[in-house]
Chain A
Amino acid sequence: MCGIAGYHGKLMAPEAAADRLGRMVAALRHRGPDGEGIAVRGETGLAHTRLSIVGLTDGAQPMTSEDGALAVSFNGEIFNYVELRDDLKARGHRFRTHSDTEVLLASYAAKGLDCLADFNGDFAFALHDTANRTLVLARDRMGVRPLFYAEHDGALFFASEIGALLALPGMAAEIDPVALDQIFTLWCPIPPRTAYRGIHELPPGHMMIVRDGQRTIRPWWQLSYPDRADIRPAPRVEVQAEELRALITDATRIRLRADVPVGSYLSGGLDSSFIAALAARTVTRGLRTFSLTFRSAEHDEGHWQRQMAATLDAEADSVECSTQAIAAHMPEAMRHIGCPILRTAPVPLHLLSARVRERGMKVVLTGEGADEVFAGYDIFREARVRRFCGRQPASPRRPRLFQRLYPYLPGLKQQSPEYLARFFSFGSEALDDPLYSHRPRFRSTAAAKLFFSVGLKDALGDYDAAAELVERLPADFSRWHPLHQAQYLETAFLLPGYLLSSQGDRVMMANAVEGRFPFLDHRVVSFAAGLSPDAKLSGLKEKHILKEAARGIVPTAIIDRAKQPYRAPDAEAFAAPASPAYLETVLSPERLAMSGLFNVQAVGKLKEKALKGQATGFRDNAAFIGVLSTELLARTGTTQSTQSTLHIGTR
């Protein structure tokens, strides 16, 4: 796991090439503190910062094939590289190193781009093929590893993080108004758009092929679900659960492959407990777990974490995350995240990866992805209840179910059925709306656009982020079951656009910690997609089959406990008297007026409300964190890297 960067399409003088690559390397050094390298091949430059995990002594990059025809800068892991290497060896290929990077080169040499389908892993790479005069950029199926690009100064530049592109001379750091509208509606930009104008993201499961100046972007893998007409009632769930358990066990097993120790995050919920339990069976010298605790009972899961760690006899480490720590670390976290966020949840995870690193570790397993793949989120249950209520809109009893969905939201407990019906707006929306499941969330999030400045509103005109999302849906989407449609929206957009990026890769790699996600093994994802909806969401019981698969491995108390979504204190972290000193500067009328994105007066009142600890609603919280993170970004984004570019090895 590393940082990659490079350019293509311009013959640069050696000093210019070294300067451009060097600036990007400097901006990616946190991702790969164990080694650095650059390679210039005609009109193509490749750069790499290395976090050595596999092939510690001989895996340096960029790596060139023996005949020199191919060169690659590779970030991530191909977990099944052992099997692929055996297969290639059997066909006569001789390997010079022990690294998975060489397996990538050999696989490409043997099969061309079809090799991608063989890879089980999380990766982003840039591969230069001199024989075909081609540059290939590719990204893993689920979007675990990042890859951004920009057309700049007559060349195509690419890098693992936006910050590396912003480090190029003359590259402007301008927030894209449309991206801001998308984030303040959908929680993330729709790729290839990013928060910055002119900087794009290669979407998950896509490749870009550049040949003779022609650029082609196309998917090499797509998440898909069966036609709803073809869904048959689930066979006995025990049989399927057995098959699933075998798959998850193997997905975890190959994710423990490393030449360094692998630890595990442990939230105390089902997903991370399951993965940690499977890992503990394999890790010979005892598993180390890492958890977050909070002082507020509504956020804390310490009790369950301790119980699970004791069950596994794991060496448990935890970081207590105070509201002050969240507020204090938010600017540093934003420097890495590079995208406005509406919740502080990524900030504690930035602190957690720092602890992992302090303990001398650089790889952790996490349970991320299970809620998307096995329908664990409340939004799936909510959509089912809304449809249920919508069938009898006059029923005074049915809306009471909403209170059962969100027992942790105190504001809902006191609501009458009439209000619940209005908040969840059932009956007023078409049941065949492709965004049916997500409309209430998008609508309540978009209420935060109240704080947009007049200038920003004018620039956006009648732009509708949800309508653009609908345009991006696959052609067969309308034929899927409603649960699968909702799962697609979460898995294809929010997962890579927020959870795996702002709350995942960026805050882990900020401290050079690699996350591995067994539930996002494509075999698990495809198996789950093919299951009947009821195997996943049984009535209102979420992750039904996963719970069955976990029995005998995870304590029953943890399997059957009420789900607690991971959340961190948002606006309350900034309440007086402990509010951070930077708040007055970052949200000062002068600064707000200068960036021009938000309504100065309204944000001033919102800040006062937050300082008084009264910004308690969903809209106020999302707006406060959204405005603050954007303004922090506006500041850090323009501070370009000027670090030394010396001492970078050339290959």
Chain B
Amino acid sequence: MTDETRSAIRAFIVENFLFGDESHPLPADQSLIDNDLVDSTGILELVGFIEERFAVSIADADIVPANLDSIDRIAGFIARKQAA
């Protein structure tokens, strides 16, 4: 499940923030902001994707870098949401 989650998130990021550029290194613990992959609009695109793809509901208070700023963090966040 987690690997599947990670690869779905990775695919979304490659498609939407890297415009299909597979050659870009994208370690699962890499910060999305510090590497200029997402801006303030990108975060909202990401939130929309997670809600639709993983059927979880994300409150404003959840939209923090601790939950969303790397593939690992996003996967962990989704797992916690789904377990709740």
Contacts and interface: CB of A to CB of B under 8 A. Distances in A.
A446 B33 CA distance: 13
Contacts of A620: 41
B65 A409 contact: no
Contacts of A444: 36, 39
B18 A617 contact: no
Q: Which of B19, B33, B65 has the most CB of A within 10 A?
A: B19
B71 to A, nearest CB: 17
Given A601-B20, A617-B39, A618-B39, A423 B33 contact: yes
A82 to B, nearest CB: 52
A602 interface: yes
Given A601-B19, A602-B21, A419 B65 contact: yes
A392 B63 CA distance: 22
B65 A418 contact: yes
A411 interface: yes
A599 B21 contact: yes
A109 interface: no
Given A414-B60, A419-B43, A617-B42, A447 B36 contact: yes
Task: Give the interface residue-count category, chain A.
Answer: 20 to 34
Q: Which of A416, A446, A616 has the most CB of B within 10 A?
A: A416
Interface in A577-618: 599, 601-603, 605-606, 609, 616-618
B36 A416 contact: no
B23 to A, nearest CB: 9
Nearest to A423: B40
Q: Dominant SS at the B interface?
A: helix
A384 interface: no
A87 B35 CA distance: 62
A442 to B, nearest CB: 11
Q: Which of A451, A606, A620 has the most CB of B within 10 A?
A: A620
B1 interface: no
Contacts of B40: 409, 411-412, 415, 419, 423, 617-618
Nearest to A409: B40
A411 B33 contact: no
Interface of A: 409, 411-412, 414-416, 418-419, 422-423, 443-444, 446-447, 450-451, 599, 601-603, 605-606, 609, 616-620
17 contacts: A409-B40, A411-B44, A414-B44, A414-B63, A415-B40, A416-B61, A418-B64, A418-B65, A419-B43, A419-B65, A423-B39, A423-B40, A444-B36, A447-B39, A599-B19, A609-B16, A619-B42
